[in-house]
Structures are given as structure tokens and as C-alpha cells.
Amino acid sequence: MKPVAIFRHLATEGPGYFAEFLDQHAIPRQLIRVDAGDAVPDDANAFSGLVFMGGPMSVNDDLPWIAQELELIRQAVGRDIPVLGHCLGGQLMSKALGGVVVRNPVPEIGWGEVSVSPGDTARAWLGELRAFDAFHWHGETFSLPSAAVHLLSSRHCANQGFVLGRHLGLQCHVEMTAEMIASWCEQGAGELAAAGSSPGVQAAAEMQAQMAEKLPQLHAAAQQLYRHWLQGLRRE
């Protein structure tokens, strides 16, 4: 089986729980460290699926690898190779497929409930789950590409997730681990201080205090999403 390609855009925003999930299911993976200068592949057929992680940059920034990743996403979708995006990754998917990425009404940082859309598509991906607490760290949001099905929303962000066939774009972070949250809180202290008065921003101490309760529930939701996504992987 060809590996799943995982695109990392910042050292601290790696695959986290998603990598653990792949290992548990004996799915080979290849980490492409865009932040460390790894080249963006030009052939999606080299992989069984493509996964794009988060990052502090905007998909609207003039960075050479952004155009390369957008083209790779379009290529993969055209060839029915599953694509999965987390936060920046979901925004890359939206833009690649005709959507737009704009500033969210407020920054959204910390734990916050996301609601699952009604309908057969959402049930296929999340079963009977109607809501769960996700982790958020974003200032922008995406529109849904044409033909995409809305999957998730939150109080401060209408588009938290979409499905397009076997492809899944997420604004929220379901890949978090305790180590990642602690690291983000430390490195993002300045951003938290600047946005602390926003109704969508949670204090770092509160985020970390809630990890023991909320991470198992987050991973349970991630398992359902990831398990369904794995069904679409190319097995040749």
C-alpha cells in the first residue's frame, strides 16, 4: 500500500493523534516537512491519500508552496485520491476547490462545541454524534466549495467542516494531543494576550485544565472521522 502523505507547515503543528491513529491501523505514512524545506510532490498518485495540517500562515499569502499544494489537492480530487485537511489544511482544500478564505468574525481559540449537521452524509461520518467539544485556533474561515456538504458548525464559525465525496475539510482541530496544546499555549502567548477580550478566546490555563476531560471525547470523534476517511484510501 502506498503511504499517506502528511504535509506539515510548522514544526509544532504536526499530525498528532492522526499519526497515532494511522499507526494503530498499520497504515504507512510519509511526513512532508514543508516548514523544513521538503519539496511538495507533483504527483498525487504516489500516495494512497493526502493530509494537510495547520499553520499560522494564510492560504492567501504569496508563498510558493501554497500554489503547489493547491494544485496537488485539485489533482488528487480529480483522481479520487482522498484528501483530509485540518484548519489551514481545510482552508487549502476550500480554496483549491473554488471556495474563498476570509477573516472570521472573531478569533476562535481554545475548546468549543461544534454541532454536527443533520443528514445522511453527517451520519456516515459521525454516526449518531450530534455535537462534541473540538479544539480551535484560527482567525480565518473558509466557504464551502461547490457540491460540498456542510458537516460542522460552531457558535463563532459557521463552517467548521465539509465533505466532498471521500474528501474531508475541517476548520477545527481534532488531531490535538496534550503535548500539542501545551506547546501552542506557550508559543501563542502573545496572540492569546492580544485577543484575550474576544468572546471566542479561552485562557491558556483553562484550555489545559480541561484537557483531561475533553481530549478523550475529542479523540472519540476523531476516530469516527478518520475511520470513515480511511475507507477511501487506495489499497493497491
- The residues facing 49 across adjacent strands are 4
Cα–chain-centroid distance for residue 164?
A: 15
Question: Using an 8 Å Cβ cutoff, are 148 and 64 in contact?
Answer: no
236, pLDDT greater than 90: no
196, pLDDT greater than 80: no
Predicted local confidence at residue 141, as pLDDT: 98
**pLDDT per residue as tens digits for the range 76-115:** 999 999 999 999 999 999 999 999 999 999 999 999 999 9
Integer Cα distance of 131 and 203 in angstroms: 22
The dihedral region occupied by 87, where left means phi > 0, alpha psi between -120 and 50, and beta the remainder, is left
Enumerate the domain spans of the chain: 4-230
What's the topology of domain 4-230? Rossmann fold (3.40.50)
Please give the grid coordinates belonging to residue 115.
Answer: 454541532
Please give the grid coordinates belonging to residue 183.
Answer: 506547546
Name residue, grid cell 489537492: 73
Predicted local confidence at residue 216, as pLDDT: 98
24: exposed, middle or buried (Cβ count in 10 Å: 0-12, 13-18, 19+): exposed
Mean pLDDT within 132-152: 97
Predicted local confidence at residue 80, as pLDDT: 97
Predicted local confidence at residue 234, as pLDDT: 84
Mean pLDDT within 136-159: 97
Task: Place 62 in a pLDDT band, splitting at 50, 70 and 90.
Answer: very high
Predicted local confidence at residue 75, as pLDDT: 98
235, pLDDT greater than 90: no
Question: Using an 8 Å Cβ cutoff, are 29 and 19 in contact?
Answer: yes
155, pLDDT greater than 90: yes
**pLDDT per residue as tens digits for the range 10-29:** 999 999 999 999 999 999 99
